[in-house]
A and B are shown apart, each in its own frame.
Chain A
Amino acid sequence: MRPASFGYHKATDLAHALALLAEFGDDGRPLAGGQSLVPMMNLRLARPAHLVDINALPLTAIERRGDVLHVGALVRHHRYLSDPLIAAHFPAFLEAVHWIGHPTIRNHGSIGGSISHADPTAELPAICLLYDATIIASSTGGDRRIAARDFFLGAYVTALQPGEMVTAVEFPIPPAKSTGAFIELGERRGDFAIASVGVALQWSGRQITGAAVVCCGARLVPIRASEVENLLIGRQLDAPDAAAIGRRFANTIEPVSDHSGSSAYRKHLIGELTRRTIERACQQALETA
């Protein structure tokens, strides 16, 4: 299919983009890489009356600003693969990028677009939640700082208001040595995930001192596994008892059944992915220790 008619507006700078978005309100959408929005438009699931092309805006930095990693909204996914700050501080982020779509999508898709689209099993929303990111939403009224846990409200629904757009995401840099892993299962490589699990751990000596676990596929938004995070703290890297933790987490969720799997299948799958991801993260810590 082909998209419905719309007005096309090329923004020359951020103030121009925000003025256009303020003018169009609910009828306007920013256009970045177009890897999520344009499929929705082609399928007529989205029919914005106006597109504001923001590709010329300079929102392209990945840089350390004090205690946070600042990622501009227009950073394309492939850049994380060669970024030393991502590799050093956010190993689960780095692993997750390999699961985003495929190389052609990673060349063009942006973090602002991915999190604004908020596909239930997309990798970057999960990574934002895993690392307690803050999302900067800008409008002509100023900037709003929204915690990732308050940003993703449902499938394709976020806390963004009409006239707002994501301009940056900030990731707090973990204070201690960190390890992490991200594992996903889909029907084929490059396809949408059925479920995925991300783990970020801090450790000292051989003991886990901080833990975060995120899961896609359990609900229509990514969720944190808070209960089992607490269980991981204090355990040894070489004996995290990940299988029991996976089972315990699986028992706390009630996934929906759909075309790609029954509720029971997803529950089992998420338990297993949790085990594998914890073990992978611990293994990587032991190798670098």
Chain B
Amino acid sequence: MTEITLAVNGTAKTVDVEPRRLLADVLRNDFNLSGVHIGCAHGACGCCTVQIDGVPRLSCLTFAVQCENVEITTVESMGGPDATHILQQAFKSEHGLQCGYCTPGFIMTLAPYVDTMLAQRRMPSDEEIREAMSGNICRCTGYHGIVSAVRKAIGDQLGSEAAA
């Protein structure tokens, strides 16, 4: 066992883990963050995507022992139980989810992408959005609603900036 201190969603906690334990499992079981969903557990589905220092990362391909001295964020940090983050709201209004299993992974992958587009002040093409989310699999929506949600999250913010 190895004692490590992880900074997750702004709070540091020390846990004792075997090196073989995946970050995804440690977040779910030791930090009670059940928003980290595990689909395939070998890097094919994107459900378990979290952010490490703001960059999307598959927590099933990461060992918890590798994650000292970095900031880990999960979907729980985004909009709380009411899902108030602008991208979460757009997923709701644009039917970007049905069963919701893949949704935390999409949100954690796409939230930094939306921020990048806002910083560049541009609306990406649908093809670019699909490329940005090509590491995440959704079996319910057929992806159209998710593309619309990304467009809405970017468009609304660009629009409100223009109006202000």
Segment with Cβ contacts to B, from A2-10, A232-240, A242-250: A2-10
Q: Determine the chain B residues whose CB is within 8 A of the CB of A7 once the complex forms.
A: 19
Q: List 28 A-B contacts (CB under 8 A).
A: A2-B20, A3-B20, A5-B19, A6-B20, A35-B43, A35-B61, A38-B43, A38-B61, A38-B62, A42-B60, A43-B42, A51-B63, A53-B66, A102-B134, A102-B135, A103-B109, A103-B134, A103-B135, A104-B46, A104-B56, A105-B58, A105-B135, A107-B55, A107-B56, A107-B57, A108-B57, A189-B134, A190-B134
Name the distance in Å between A57's Cβ and chain B's nearest Cβ: 14
Name the distance in Å between B76's Cβ and chain A's nearest Cβ: 19
Query: Interface 1/0s, chain B 34-62, versus A by CB < 8 A?
Result: 00000001111010010000011110111
Nearest B residue to A9, CB-CB: B19
Q: Are the C-beta atoms of A8 and B65 separated by less than 8 Å?
A: yes
The 8 Å CB contact of A1, one of B41, B49, B55, is B41
Q: Are the C-beta atoms of A8 and B19 separated by less than 8 Å?
A: yes
CA distance A53 to B18 in the complex (A): 15
Given A1-B41, A104-B46, is A34 in contact with B135 using a C-beta cutoff of 8 Å? no
Given A1-B41, A104-B56, A104-B57, 14 more A-B residue pairs with CB atoms under 8 Å apart are A2-B22, A3-B20, A3-B22, A8-B19, A35-B58, A39-B43, A39-B44, A42-B60, A101-B135, A103-B131, A104-B49, A105-B58, A107-B57, A108-B57
Q: Are the C-beta atoms of B25 and A2 separated by less than 8 Å?
A: yes
Contact of B2 with A by CB under 8 A: yes
Name the distance in Å between B101's Cβ and chain A's nearest Cβ: 18
Name the distance in Å between B162's Cβ and chain A's nearest Cβ: 28
> How many A residues are at the interface, by size bracket?
20 to 34
Q: Determine the chain A residues whose CB is within 8 A of the CB of B130 once the complex forms.
A: 189
Contact of A55 with B by CB under 8 A: yes
Nearest B residue to A55, CB-CB: B66
CA distance A35 to B59 in the complex (A): 11
Q: Determine the chain B residues whose CB is within 8 A of the CB of A103 once the complex forms.
A: 56, 109, 131-132, 134-135
Number of A-B contacts (CB under 8 A): 79
Given A35-B61, A189-B131, is A105 in contact with B19 using a C-beta cutoff of 8 Å? no
Q: Determine the chain A residues whose CB is within 8 A of the CB of B61 once the complex forms.
A: 34-35, 38-39, 42, 108
Q: Are the C-beta atoms of A42 and B19 separated by less than 8 Å?
A: no
Query: Interface 1/0s, chain A 1-30, versus B by CB < 8 A?
Result: 111111110000000000000000000000
Chain B residues close to A by CB (< 8 Å):
2, 18-22, 25, 41-44, 46, 49, 55-58, 60-63, 65-66, 109, 130-132, 134-135
Q: Are the C-beta atoms of A104 and B20 separated by less than 8 Å?
A: no
Q: Determine the chain A residues whose CB is within 8 A of the CB of B20 once the complex forms.
A: 2-6
Q: Determine the chain B residues whose CB is within 8 A of the CB of A5 once the complex forms.
A: 18-20
CA distance A51 to B41 in the complex (A): 19
Q: Are the C-beta atoms of B42 and A39 separated by less than 8 Å?
A: yes
Q: Are the C-beta atoms of B41 and A42 separated by less than 8 Å?
A: yes
Nearest A residue to B113, CB-CB: A103
Name the distance in Å between B50's Cβ and chain A's nearest Cβ: 10
Query: Interface 1/0s, chain A 178-207, versus B by CB < 8 A?
Result: 000000000001100000000000000000
Q: Determine the chain B residues whose CB is within 8 A of the CB of A43 once the complex forms.
A: 42
Name the distance in Å between A27's Cβ and chain B's nearest Cβ: 14
CA distance A173 to B69 in the complex (A): 39
Q: Determine the chain A residues whose CB is within 8 A of the CB of B22 once the complex forms.
A: 2-3, 42
Nearest B residue to A45, CB-CB: B42
CA distance A101 to B135 in the complex (A): 8
CA distance A55 to B62 in the complex (A): 12
Name the distance in Å between B43's Cβ and chain A's nearest Cβ: 5
Q: Determine the chain A residues whose CB is within 8 A of the CB of B63 once the complex forms.
A: 8, 34, 38, 51
Q: Determine the chain A residues whose CB is within 8 A of the CB of B57 once the complex forms.
A: 104, 107-108
CA distance A189 to B18 in the complex (A): 35
Name the distance in Å between B147's Cβ and chain A's nearest Cβ: 13
* CB-CB nearest 9 A-B residue pairs: A102-B135, A8-B19, A190-B134, A39-B42, A102-B134, A38-B61, A104-B135, A189-B134, A42-B42
